[in-house]
Chains A and B, each alone.
Chain A
């Protein structure tokens, strides 16, 4: 019996969910306590709860908590959507942005940057990102409505990815001054720094809707393990599933990218990490991968602030630096277990 099977029988699913939720909340608390300014979390918390507008309370409510909660939301979105995409395409290489929504969101944000709207309105940037993701989702669903199959949609997603990527490069190329280009490049690297409550409230509703859409496909994703014919014979509407998953990815990942920029590898690694614990069941993997994504993102964002480098490393850089070797090690271990 493989290690995967043994784990699954030892840790019941509710215990896994509870354990990961506690871990994510604990990391949220650590994230709120960690920062550059010496900070008494206990005093700030009691000031904030008592409504005393001290400096500590303000830092907690306006900077630390939004950053920690955004880390949680963004990580959960990436992990959950990654698991949903892998299950849908039955391909362990799939990642949340596969259908083009992340690069389209990044392009939307870059266009806003470029036009100077972001200077006028702080929420213009995330709104632009969401508009980009929505455009990608609408385009893909139009392709689907014209009868494109799953493979054609993935290729469509790749086309959207590369188009959005080259338009982003074009914006950089034509940037009026080097400083503007640098700002765009830095933003694209992905970060949770200096995000406020405004952004939090802006992305929460679309993210929740996106999560619900992805989670509603759990049973159909389980059935797809047996292939499309068998899944349909088990009573699942695969065209409906496709619409739900594309819309879910656009809402959850699109809003994540539009506030944090590109945070790579979390959506790819989290499902791989949790798959043995889910007994490889794609439906059961969804919540587990979401929670694992939240933990990974929070841990990386804590590491960013603990590392002595200045300027602060970008979150997306750290997740990719840790994620890539980690994924290679994970794949090597799974190979050994299968052999």
Chain B
């Protein structure tokens, strides 16, 4: 599924949180959504998922509006993983992952063999098969995040929108999670993840979207987005760069005094 936005704006409490964002989410690409706190990343992701109404502009799914696609079809088409998602009852991990199959089940239909198979695939892909019998309250923050990721994967939707999927993970599982999301894109899914780690974004993503103050500052391949000027303008930081095994790494080095952060060309 190809998601497009046209002149998308959003407001909250009278304040503009997104202004005139036009972009496209392509199938088969891993897109990183980056930008400082409060830039509008989560708002954009929720609009892409059809969870919020834009103040202006529109979102289309293969050219159709959310209403035309229909609630259930949209739920089968887009898996949404909220930021540090709540889990309100002490479900076992396996039952939690099975919730991802709800869009595929009829109003009275039971759990089918296909649902069980999808849950098994999701559990093993997210490295959570050994946690299946544990109740959510007994999991560590990172284990919980991986189980929630497995829940989103279990939907096996053509689009996966993940809000900070690696925030709670240790370095090993961060790398594994980024590889997993990239593999999902290689198999044809459209994957969008909100990220804060610029090196992970540079190494694993096919495309980056850089938001600052609710506006689209830059988009394209990581090398074109992660320029010194863009990072200075968005985050107000200077970057230390390096290379390892032919891949770049970027370390936030020091904050820049605010006047130098103004973009030189509008």
Do A and B make up one complex?
A: yes
Within 8 A of A (CB), among B136-185: 137-138, 148, 151, 155
The interface stretch among B102-110, B221-229, B241-249 is B102-110
Q: Is A233 an interface residue (CB 8 A)?
A: yes
In the complex, are the beta carbons of B49 and A235 less than 8 A apart?
no
Contacts A223-B99, A233-B75, A235-B103 known; A279 to B137 CB distance under 8 Å? no
Task: Give 1 or 0 for each of A207-244: 1 = CB within 8 Å of chain B CB.
Answer: 00000000010010011111101101111110000000
Within 8 Å by CB of A234, from B86, B87, B99, B137, lies B99
Main SS of chain B's interface residues? mixed
In the complex, are the beta carbons of A234 and B89 less than 8 A apart?
no
Q: Is A307 an interface residue (CB 8 A)?
A: no
Q: Is B80 an interface residue (CB 8 A)?
A: yes
A226–B137 Cα distance when bound, in Å, is 14
User: Could you tell me the distance in whole angstroms from the C-beta of B199 to the nearest C-beta in chain A?
Assistant: 29
In the complex, are the beta carbons of B135 and A230 less than 8 A apart?
no
Chain A residues closer than 8 Å to B96, beta-carbon distance: 225-226
Chain B residues closer than 8 Å to A232, beta-carbon distance: 51
Residue of B nearest to A224 (CB): B88
A338–B139 Cα distance when bound, in Å, is 12
Task: Give 1 or 0 for each of B109-142: 1 = CB within 8 Å of chain A CB.
Answer: 0000000000000000000000001110110000
A224–B71 Cα distance when bound, in Å, is 16
Is the interface on chain B under 10, 10 to 19, 20 to 34, or 35 or more residues?
A: 35 or more
Q: Is B91 an interface residue (CB 8 A)?
A: yes
**Which of A4, A225, A275: most chain B Cβ within 10 A?**
A225
In the complex, are the beta carbons of A222 and B49 less than 8 A apart?
no
Residue of A nearest to B74 (CB): A235
Contacts A5-B133, A219-B107, A229-B46 known; A281 to B102 CB distance under 8 Å? no
User: Could you tell me the distance in whole angstroms from the C-beta of A284 to the nearest C-beta in chain B?
Assistant: 9
In the complex, are the beta carbons of A229 and B51 less than 8 A apart?
yes
Q: Is A303 an interface residue (CB 8 A)?
A: no
Q: Is A280 an interface residue (CB 8 A)?
A: yes
Chain B residues closer than 8 Å to A222, beta-carbon distance: 99, 102
In the complex, are the beta carbons of B80 and A281 less than 8 A apart?
no
A5–B131 Cα distance when bound, in Å, is 13
In the complex, are the beta carbons of A280 and B76 less than 8 A apart?
no
Chain A residues closer than 8 Å to B88, beta-carbon distance: 90, 224-227
Within 8 Å by CB of A227, from B71, B82, B103, B137, lies B82
Within 8 Å by CB of A235, from B71, B86, B89, lies B71
In the complex, are the beta carbons of B91 and A235 less than 8 A apart?
no
Chain B residues closer than 8 Å to A309, beta-carbon distance: none
Q: Is B63 an interface residue (CB 8 A)?
A: no
Q: Is B17 an interface residue (CB 8 A)?
A: no
Within 8 A of B (CB), among A91-128: none
A324–B87 Cα distance when bound, in Å, is 27
Chain B residues closer than 8 Å to A275, beta-carbon distance: 89
Chain A residues closer than 8 Å to B105, beta-carbon distance: 219
A1–B131 Cα distance when bound, in Å, is 11
Residue of B nearest to A235 (CB): B75
- A binding-site residues for B, Cβ under 8 Å: 1-2, 4-5, 8, 90, 216, 219, 222-227, 229-230, 232-237, 275, 279-282, 338
Known: A2-B138, A222-B99, A226-B96. 7 other contacts (CB 8 A): A2-B135, A4-B90, A225-B91, A230-B80, A233-B50, A233-B51, A235-B103
List the 6 closest A-B pairs by CB distance, nearest first: A235-B75, A233-B80, A90-B88, A280-B89, A235-B72, A227-B86
